[in-house]
């Protein structure tokens, strides 16, 4: 069964998960970064203070995802979606309307929590849990919701800012999302929750990732792309300078990265179904590893393009591989708990990575040294995961 048949037979559920991923764009760094200057002025903060506040609300959002994310294992998905959509829209209104800086900051936190944190959690969990033989393809299709946001929204927002202020633009986006979500909430093909809520004081059944050695062995492998790509995005100016390139080349390469994610998602999903998530987990970082090597040896414009395109190919396939791997090792019934833990770790990583790399750069490290450290991190994470990927549980023996 190919993608066309999958869409024809399951377009209702795929549409829900796809829209959840697209809606997450509102809380993603690429979207908020488009409005960083007016939001900073709105909060009355300096650029440095905004960066610190952004990191703090991101880390708090990660802890909340870790706490409430597992509830999708027993809360009906329709109710779960309604709750996080309400939180997202409330955050938008607080950020744009409230006269007090602390409530505006609360609004920013809600946008980060429900956008970057909970919406992708909803989309990936639904696709990973409700599909079996076509799980990889379903996850690949669903992940294209974020890619659509990354490719389409920046130029669209830039064009609309000619006629609208940033607040009016956010209100227009909120209205658009509401129009898209209402039919799905009323008549969508919503599945039932797979389990029942634990009673107060009852120990929750199922996996406990932080107490499982296998999860810790896999975590560095799955954190490589969030950590390294966040560093490349945040310190793009220093990267292009040290590699002998320019920001204009980086801007074009960033578009190339967005386009590279599409074949990464579609081919990655197909190969997950054919080869299995274990084999794919062993090799999906190869394009990014080769890109790091090329950037270190060649540098220049070629190095920047290699990092963006190689990273895009790997990022495009990661969600389908990671979610399918969690199901392979721990089962689909508790996927909400597993995805919440992984999502929280990703949020923590994207919050801490800029600070750690910033310290290294302040100490005088050249960006080529940073890239060498990223490559060493990649190799180490890959090596740590091999014990789990070669285990009888992973191979289905």
* Domain final position from 194, 218, 233: 194
Task: Say if 292 falls within a structural domain.
Answer: yes
Do 271 and 385 have their domain in common? yes
- For the CA atoms of 295, 296, 298, 304, the dihedral, rounded to the nearest 10 degrees, stands at 20
Task: Say if 199 falls within a structural domain.
Answer: no
* Domain final position from 150, 168, 194: 194
Q: What is the pLDDT of residue 307?
A: 92
Q: Give the other-Cβ count within 10 Å of 191's Cβ.
A: 14
* Alpha carbon distances (Å) from 251 to 225, 240, 245, 283: 19, 11, 11, 28
Domain count, the chain: 2
Q: Is the pLDDT of residue 330 over 60?
A: yes
Tokens 């090596």 locate to: 383
Q: Is 396 helix (H, G, I), strand (E, B) or coil?
A: coil
- Read off the CATH number of the domain in which 293 is found: 1.20.1250.20
Do 165 and 279 have their domain in common? no
Band of pLDDT at residue 221, cut at 50, 70 and 90:
very high
Band of pLDDT at residue 104, cut at 50, 70 and 90:
confident
Do 157 and 283 have their domain in common? no
Task: Say if 202 falls within a structural domain.
Answer: no
* Model confidence, pTM: 0.81
Do 257 and 176 have their domain in common? no
Task: Say if 391 falls within a structural domain.
Answer: yes
Task: Say if 200 falls within a structural domain.
Answer: no
Do 28 and 163 have their domain in common? yes
Do 189 and 211 have their domain in common? no
* Domain final position from 145, 173, 194: 194
Q: What is the pLDDT of residue 88?
A: 94
382 vs 99, higher pLDDT: 382
Q: Using the CB atoms, write b or e for 28-61: b if 16+ within 10 Å.
A: bbebbebbeeebbebbebeeeebbebbeebbbeb
d(CA 160, CA 163): 6
Task: Say if 163 falls within a structural domain.
Answer: yes
d(CA 10, CA 4): 10
> Domain range for residue 94?
1-194
Band of pLDDT at residue 181, cut at 50, 70 and 90:
very high
d(CA 73, CA 333): 7
Q: What is the pLDDT of residue 195?
A: 65
Of 66-70, 167-171, 190-194, 294-298, which range is least confident? Answer: 190-194
Do 121 and 173 have their domain in common? yes
Do 70 and 112 have their domain in common? yes
Do 336 and 236 have their domain in common? yes
Task: Say if 80 falls within a structural domain.
Answer: yes
Question: What is the mean predicted confidence (pLDDT) over 99-112?
Answer: 87
Task: Say if 158 falls within a structural domain.
Answer: yes
Do 188 and 316 have their domain in common? no
Q: Give how far the C-alpha of residue 361 lies from the chain's centroid of Cα atoms, to the nearest Å.
A: 25
Burial of 143 (0-12, 13-18, 19+ CB in 10 A): buried
Do 47 and 143 have their domain in common? yes
Do 18 and 94 have their domain in common? yes
């Amino acid at each position: 069964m190919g993608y066309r048949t999958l869409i024809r037979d399951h377009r209702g559920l795929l549409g829900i998960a796809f829209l959840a991923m697209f809606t997450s764009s509102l809380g993603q760094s690429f979207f908020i970064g488009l409005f960083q200057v007016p939001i900073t002025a709105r909060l009355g903060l300096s650029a440095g203070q905004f960066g610190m506040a952004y990191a703090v609300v991101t880390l708090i959002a990660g802890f909340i995802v870790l706490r409430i994310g597992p509830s999708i294992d027993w809360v009906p998905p329709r109710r779960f979606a309604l709750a996080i959509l309400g939180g997202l829209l409330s955050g938008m209104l607080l950020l744009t309307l409230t006269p007090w800086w602390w409530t505006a900051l609360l609004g920013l936190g809600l946008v980060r929590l429900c956008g970057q944190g909970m919406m992708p959690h909803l989309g990936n969990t639904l696709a990973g849990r409700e599909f079996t033989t076509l799980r990889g393809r379903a996850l690949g299709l669903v992940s294209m919701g974020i890619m659509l946001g990354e490719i389409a929204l920046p130029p669209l927002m830039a064009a609309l800012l000619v006629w609208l202020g940033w607040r009016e633009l956010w209100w227009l986006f909120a209205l658009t999302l509401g129009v898209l979500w209402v039919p799905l909430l009323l008549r969508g093909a919503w599945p039932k929750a797979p389990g029942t809520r634990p009673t107060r004081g009852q120990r929750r059944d199922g996996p406990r990732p932080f107490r499982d050695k296998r999860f810790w062995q896999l975590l560095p492998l799955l954190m490589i792309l969030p950590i390294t790509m966040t560093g490349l995005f945040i310190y793009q100016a220093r990267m292009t300078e040290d590699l002998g390139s320019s920001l204009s080349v980086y801007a074009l390469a960033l578009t190339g990265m967005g386009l590279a994610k599409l074949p990464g998602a579609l081919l990655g999903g197909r190969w997950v179904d054919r080869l299995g998530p274990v084999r794919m987990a062993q090799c999906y970082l190869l394009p990014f590893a080769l890109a790091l090597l090329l950037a270190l040896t060649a540098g220049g414009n070629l190095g920047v393009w290699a990092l963006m395109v190689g990273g895009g190919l790997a990022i495009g396939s990661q969600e389908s591989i990671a979610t399918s791997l969690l199901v392979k090792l721990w089962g689909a019934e508790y996927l909400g708990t597993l995805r919440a833990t992984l999502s929280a770790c990703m949020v923590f990583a994207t919050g801490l990575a800029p600070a750690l790399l910033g310290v290294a750069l302040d100490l005088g490290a050249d960006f080529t040294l940073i890239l060498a450290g990223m490559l060493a991190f990649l190799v180490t994470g890959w090596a740590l995961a091999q014990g789990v990927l070669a285990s009888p549980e992973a191979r289905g023996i």
